[in-house]
Amino acid sequence: MLRVTNLNVHYAQKLVLQQLNFTLPAGQSVCLLGQNGAGKTTFFRAILNTIAYQGKIVIAGQNTKKLPRAALAKKVAYIPQNHEAPANFSVFEMVLMGTTANLKPFQQPGKAEEKRALAALERLGIRYLQHDYFGEISGGEQQLVTVARSVAQNSRVILMDEPCANLDFGNQMMVLEMARELARQGFLIIQSTHEPNHALNYADQILLLEKQRMTVGKPDKLLTSQRLSRLYHYPVKVVTVNVDGQQKRFCIAARKELKHVANL
């Protein structure tokens, strides 16, 4: 579904992504981990063809560099980290806009698109917001609307840049479960996150970005105490807990005392 070959990205003299080579099949929920500034958004930008890069990115057999923007939008939906709030659009209109990626030039959304937009709002549990202005709802609600828009877009690859960042605990779980459900329906979902517990419990596959390089693997193999401590420069322990007969793994901070606080 997504094949990345010899991907290198620089900003001026600064090398951000170096020699990335991997393939991700359809039907997976993938978590992308990496420190602040590691290059997660840059990786998404390369897939979206909005920055210059060396190498090749192929989605469903097609080189994304050669796809016109509209054709790429049919294949990839993107939820950015910070969304601008166009105050004069309603929530329903915002989500309906997602459906236009699949329309012909100048074609207006019809009944089928309206139905899809409403279904996406329903799925995110925010249909009650449909008549509100996007600019007048909370940051977390806006986040859910952008997720609904990407679902309405119906592209087979969905890139989510920290989709849970502004959400309350229940809505975080809902987005994670929805990502997993969409993956079961054949979508490829890649979401960046700073919460290793989301990756440990909800991802089929992990992308771990460290020192410009990407490592790909299953959560139980890749997300060890040692690896996560090294990644975040902070001692953590991954523990296994039996939850209602199921073995779940959690990452917890393992520093015994806060030395940096004592030094203040």
Question: Residue 124 CB, nearest distance to ligand ATP (Å)?
Answer: 23
Angstrom distance (rounded) from CA 83 to CA 235: 33
Angstrom distance (rounded) from CA 118 to CA 113: 9
Residue closer to ligand ATP (CB basis): 9 or 188 = 9
Amino acid in position 149: R
Residue closer to ligand ATP (CB basis): 3 or 194 = 194
- 171-176 long-range CB contacts below 8 Å, 24 or more apart? 171/140, 171/144, 172/198, 174/124, 174/125, 175/144, 175/147, 176/201, 176/202
- Interface contacts to ligand ATP, rule CB under 6 A: 11, 16, 34, 36-42
Question: Residue 6 CB, nearest distance to ligand ATP (Å)?
Answer: 19
* Contact status, residue 201 vs residue 249, Cβ threshold 8 Å: yes
Residue closer to ligand ATP (CB basis): 40 or 75 = 40
* Contact status, residue 75 vs residue 195, Cβ threshold 8 Å: no
Question: Residue 11 CB, nearest distance to ligand ATP (Å)?
Answer: 3
Question: Residue 46 CB, nearest distance to ligand ATP (Å)?
Answer: 10
Residue closer to ligand ATP (CB basis): 34 or 196 = 34
